[in-house]
Structure 1
Amino acid sequence: MVAKTTIMWKSEIFAVLESKAIEFQLMGYAGSTPENIWKCMTDKVWKGNPEKRLYEVVQDIFHLNTALYISYLTVQAYQDDDLDMSISALVKHEKTSTVHE
């Protein structure tokens, strides 16, 4: 079997991503989605877009544990909060600047 970059496999392994999301949902992680699983894999497990064979991609997804997944989601939540706070501070600063002008 030929190796492809992980992104090239995404459409072919969507059922695997769905299966993993359902597994995590059954374990109590209701917000698990195939897209979140995919992002975790590309950011934490594969760290980019390496070449892999189909069985390797599927195996990596099935071996994703909840600790790594929740750790990834936690970091993403903090980063999103930081971005939201930065935007809010910027918008607030712009409003006060225009009032004082």
Structure 2
Amino acid sequence: MEEVKSVSEWKFKLHEILDSKVDEFKLLDYSNANKEDIWNCLVQKVWKGEPDKRLHQIVQDIFHLNPSIYMVYLTQQSLKDDNLQASLQALLGDQDY
């Protein structure tokens, strides 16, 4: 029977699978797709944390990651970054940071 571990414990075995997903997204014209964003999207949107799973379940989740879920994740991250930048500007005024 396959071992159950937290998803982060399996990450070191998933580089080729993540590369495959990056290549798939790039073929779909998501030219800035990368492994870290895909992994973070899975953690936040699909797994909603660090659940315990079997390796084959994680591979299946990666292969089934829908581009629309990935784009929602990237959009939300962009908005968070914009909000952080706006907050810093409000705190610091016109100073460089």
User: In 2, distance between residues paired with 1:91 and 1:51?
Assistant: 42
Residue 28 (structure 1) aligns with: 29
User: In 2, distance between residues paired with 1:37 and 1:16?
Assistant: 11
1:76-87 equivalent positions in 2, closer than 5 A: 76-87=77-88
Query: Looking at CA atoms only, which structure, 1 or 2, has the larger radius of gyration?
Result: 1
User: In 2, distance between residues paired with 1:60 and 1:10?
Assistant: 13
User: In 1, distance between residues paired with 2:32 and 2:90?
Assistant: 28
User: In 2, distance between residues paired with 1:18 and 1:42?
Assistant: 17
Moved segments of 4+, more than 2 Å: none
The number of residues matched between the two structures is: 94
**Cα offset, 1:18, TM superposition:** 1.1
> Aligned to 1:48, what secondary structure does the other structure show?
coil
- Cα deviation digits, residues 54-98 of structure 1 (max 9, x gap): 0000000000001110011001100110001111111107x6xxx
1:1-101 equivalent positions in 2, closer than 5 A: 1-92=2-93
**Cα offset, 1:43, TM superposition:** 0.4
**Cα offset, 1:22, TM superposition:** 1.1
Give the alignment's TM-score, normalised by structure 2.
0.93
Question: Could you list the runs of 5+ residues in structure 1 that have no partner in the other structure?
Answer: 96-101
User: In 2, distance between residues paired with 1:90 and 1:14?
Assistant: 40
Higher helix proportion (structure 1 or 2): 1
- Cα deviation digits, residues 18-51 of structure 1 (max 9, x gap): 1101110111001100000000000000010000
Query: 2:21 is matched by which residue type in structure 1?
Result: K
